[in-house]
Amino acid sequence: MNAEASAPLRMIAESAADFAASHGGPGAARRVHEGGPAWEADAWKAIAGLGWLGIAVPEAAGGLELGAPALCVVAEEAGRALLMPPLTAGMAAAAVLAEGGDAAAPTLQALIEGTAHVALAQAERGADGTRTASLVPEGDAAAQWLVASGQGADFEARGLDPAAHGIALRVRHAVDGSRLADLAIEPAAWADAPCLLSGAVGEAAWARGRQLAWLGDAAYLCGLMDAALRLALDYLRLRRQFGVPIGSFQALQHRATDCHVDVTATRALVHEAARAAGTARAAWAAAAAVQRASAAALRVTQEVVQFHGAIGFADEHDAGLYLRRAMTVGARHAGAALAALQGR
């Protein structure tokens, strides 16, 4: 990327870093871990006010039309600050809704304005016609779900409000304290919900949105593991044994170097995948990015806990916050991304 092209992204990154630092951080992540809400109306409206939720939405639909590279820049800074609201899911959902035409316009407008959150879910249809979807990010916070079912000509993505459509919803907690949800959608509720995308065209739009979600979470994990490694390096410089900083021990230097390589290589892959959006290799590149980022984030955050010794395993220490968040975000797309890499 040349200097002229990267200048706008640098400006976006600086703005995102300032906002994420003031609304995120280990303290905010710990409040969620201890039972506080990850999704708060004021923070969500502030995010919307920056235009982030429309970052991958065409200008004609009310967005910024900055594309996947800008989305990844924002997501990386969010991960660096452990920002807990479902930002990456919201950005991807807005891009999908933008391709839904007039039927999706009111929902898209509410999402971009920050008065609603829309979560994406892929449902499986049972023999009795009931559709089930699981592990919806921040399920209890979402005002609406955009749920996809079927393939090809049978593909449909419908907008559902669990309260309005009488949908059974089971909310549970991930290891980082964020909320997940399982949905059971009866045939009558499915038929009553508005169809926002359908057929092969709708399925293609859904696939593009899913790729943005992969890229966003991959970038988020890049920021997260970079921040976690910096936390560990500060500790290695501070902690002393035998009269010297433990960071001077060669064995720890080698392990820290491996972590640095993991972070740097993963970031390069993620941003290269973002530049591939809209090309023939977009799906494979996005899937590869999130698979690599998920694995690398686990390796790095586990090492960060180890670098801190016994104190790193204490629930009160911030090192564990990065590991738990990496576990939650990395698990979101494992099955679908792996299937895309294997050509399924």
264 assigned to some structural domain:
yes
- DSSP-assigned letters across all residues of 277-333: TTSTTHHHHHHHHHHHHHHHHHHHHHHHHHHTGGGGGSTTSTHHHHHHHHHHHHTSS
Of all helices (H) and strands (E), which one includes residue 156?
strand 156-160
272 assigned to some structural domain:
yes
According to the 3-state scheme, what is the secondary structure of 211-267?
A: HHHHHHHHHHHHHHHHHHHHHHHHHHHHCEECCEEHHHCHHHHHHHHHHHHHHHHHH
102 assigned to some structural domain:
no
Q: Is the pLDDT of residue 322 over 80?
A: yes
Q: What's the pLDDT score for residue 2?
A: 43
Report pLDDT digits (tens) over 102-138: 989 999 999 999 988 888 899 999 999 999 987 655 5
Distant-in-sequence, close-in-space partners of 170: CB < 8 Å, separation ≥ 6: 181, 182
pTM of the model: 0.94
The band of 37, judged by pLDDT with boundaries at 50, 70 and 90, is: confident
Contact indicator for 305, 313 with CB cutoff of 8 Å: yes
Residue 226 belongs to domain with CATH number: 1.20.140.10
Which span out of 141-145, 176-180, 188-192, 331-335 was modeled with the highest average pLDDT? Answer: 188-192
337 assigned to some structural domain:
yes
73 assigned to some structural domain:
no
What are the φ and ψ backbone dihedral angles of 116, each rounded to 5 degrees? -150, 160
7 assigned to some structural domain:
no
182 assigned to some structural domain:
no
Number of compact structural domains in the chain: 1
Q: What is the mean pLDDT of the chain?
A: 91
Domain that residue 332 falls in = 202-341
> Does 323 or 184 have the greater pLDDT score?
323
219 assigned to some structural domain:
yes
Report pLDDT digits (tens) over 42-81: 889 999 999 999 999 999 999 999 999 999 999 999 999 9
